């Protein structure tokens, strides 16, 4: 089972997206010069599958160059996000004046990130109204939160389809959201906060609910770069951030630790398989009853080889135990 390469069958909230895409991720070897199918390049997300270079001669080198630029930008943004003193950029980027655990997490993101670049194509969609049986019209992508740390998005400047929900209130029905269209600024990138940054910052940085609408006449292209932690990284609120949220003399952590490889695997299973299990960052909120994910992610970490492509059948018995 492969996650990378071309696909047109992704599900969001168990509903098929109106798009096709090509995913390219950091190789398991972290060495772009090796053949894509080299066993050293195996990882949870599978192997890269670039188009034939005879067909798209400069595609591979262009994508790799852009990928590495996005990774560098994402790490720079992560450095700025860990401190409230964002005016002192040099100090932050040099990892000075912040605690060792924070420095370690930043370095881990930079060294072990498992990021991928997605190149989306959204064809025109003639169905813009609900069908007679009440079936809603297709969406490019249904409402969702990005799972990773940051998303660096290159938007289509000709077709404005990305929308963000306002307000971000879990008690509001989806139909009652005020959907705001994000109009791209020419020559700019759109930065989106993901679930892992929300957890990392103990809720200070919010992951916004967003969707992509279809267009009846225009096709749309976009290229989101998803900056993700290492598979074996246990993401948790940074001490110097959650200290600012206190209850009397005690420190309050809003979220329990999340194993990124487990969170990623469950999102993958929800997007491309029939497992029927969805995972959200809200499952790890400390104010809620401890969920089955806490125990199962520990078992998953002990069983899973993050240097082989994820196979749902191998872990189905374990993952179907989630209630």
How many CB atoms are closer than 10 A to CB 50?
Answer: 15
The pair of structure tokens assigned to 207 is 């992951």
What predicted TM-score, i.e. pTM, was given to this entire model? 0.89
pLDDT at position 105: 82
Longest dimension (CA), the chain: 65
Place of tokens 């938007």: 155
How confident is the model at residue 291, as a pLDDT? 85
Domain borders along the chain are 5-319
91 — pLDDT class (breaks 50, 70, 90)? very low
CA angle (123, 141, 200) in 5-degree steps: 140
CA dist 126 to 113, 121, 137, 142, 215, Å?
39, 16, 9, 17, 8
CA 155, chain centre distance (Å): 17
* Sign of the alpha-carbon dihedral angle for 173, 271, 148, 247: positive
pLDDT-based confidence at residue 14 (cuts at 50, 70, 90): confident
- Cis bond leading into 167, ω under 30°? yes
Cα-Cα-Cα-Cα dihedral sign, residues 86, 87, 90, 95: negative
**pLDDT per position as a tens digit, 107-156:** 999 999 999 999 999 999 998 777 767 778 899 999 999 999 999 999 99
Q: Where are the beta strands (DSSP E) in the chain?
A: 5-7, 11-12, 15-16, 20-25, 116-122, 141-144, 150-154, 162-166, 178-181, 190-193, 210-212, 220-227, 234-235, 246-247, 250-251, 258-259
Mean pLDDT computed over 159-163: 94
Q: Strand 258-259 relative to strand 234-235: parallel, antiparallel, unpaired?
A: antiparallel
CATH 2.60.120.330 fits 5-319, yes or no: yes
pLDDT tens figures, 261-313: 999 999 888 766 666 677 899 999 999 888 889 999 999 999 999 999 998 88
pLDDT at 175: 55
Say if strands 250-251 and 258-259 run parallel, antiparallel, or are unpaired: unpaired
CB distance 128 to 137 below 8 Å: yes
pLDDT tens sequence across 212-234: 999 999 999 999 999 999 999 99
Instruction: Look at residue 250 and tell me whether its pLDDT is greater than 60.
Output: no
What's the CA gap between 182 and 180, in Å, rounded? 6
Identify the band that residue 80 occupies on the pLDDT scale cut at 50, 70 and 90: confident
pLDDT of residue 238: 81
Query: Does residue 237 contact residue 254 with C-beta atoms inside 8 Å?
Result: yes
Q: State whether residue 41 is helix, strand or coil.
A: helix
């Amino acid at each position: 089972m492969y996650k990378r390469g071309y696909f047109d069958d992704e599900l969001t909230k168990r509903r098929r997206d109106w798009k096709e895409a090509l995913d390219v991720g950091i190789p398991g070897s972290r060495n772009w010069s090796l053949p894509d199918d080299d066993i050293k390049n195996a990882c949870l997300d599978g192997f890269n599958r670039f188009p034939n270079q005879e067909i798209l001669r400069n595609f591979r080198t262009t994508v790799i160059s852009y990928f590495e630029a996005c990774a560098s930008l994402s790490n720079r943004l992560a450095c700025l996000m860990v401190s409230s003193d964002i005016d002192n950029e040099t100090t932050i980027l040099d990892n000075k004046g912040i605690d060792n655990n924070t420095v370690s997490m930043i370095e881990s993101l930079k060294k072990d990130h498992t990021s991928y670049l997605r190149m989306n194509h959204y064809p025109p969609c003639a169905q813009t109204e609900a069908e007679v049986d009440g079936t809603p019209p297709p969406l490019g992508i249904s409402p969702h939160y990005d799972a990773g740390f940051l998303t660096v998005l290159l938007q289509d400047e000709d077709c404005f389809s990305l929308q963000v929900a306002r307000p971000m209130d879990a008690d509001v029905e989806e139909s009652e959201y005020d959907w705001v269209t994000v109009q791209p600024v020419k020559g700019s990138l759109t930065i989106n906060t993901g679930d892992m940054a929300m957890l990392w910052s103990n809720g200070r940085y919010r992951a916004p609910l967003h969707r992509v609408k279809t267009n009846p006449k225009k096709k749309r292209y976009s290229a989101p770069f998803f900056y993700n932690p290492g598979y074996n990284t246990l993401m948790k609120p940074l001490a110097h951030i959650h200290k600012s949220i206190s209850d009397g003399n005690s420190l309050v952590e809003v979220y329990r630790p999340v194993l990124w490889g487990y969170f990623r695997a469950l999102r993958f299973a929800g997007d491309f398989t029939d497992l029927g299990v969805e995972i959200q960052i809200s499952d790890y909120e400390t104010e809620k009853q401890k969920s089955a994910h806490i125990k199962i992610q520990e078992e998953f970490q002990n069983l899973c080889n993050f240097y082989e492509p994820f196979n749902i059948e191998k872990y189905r018995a374990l993952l179907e135990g989630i209630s």
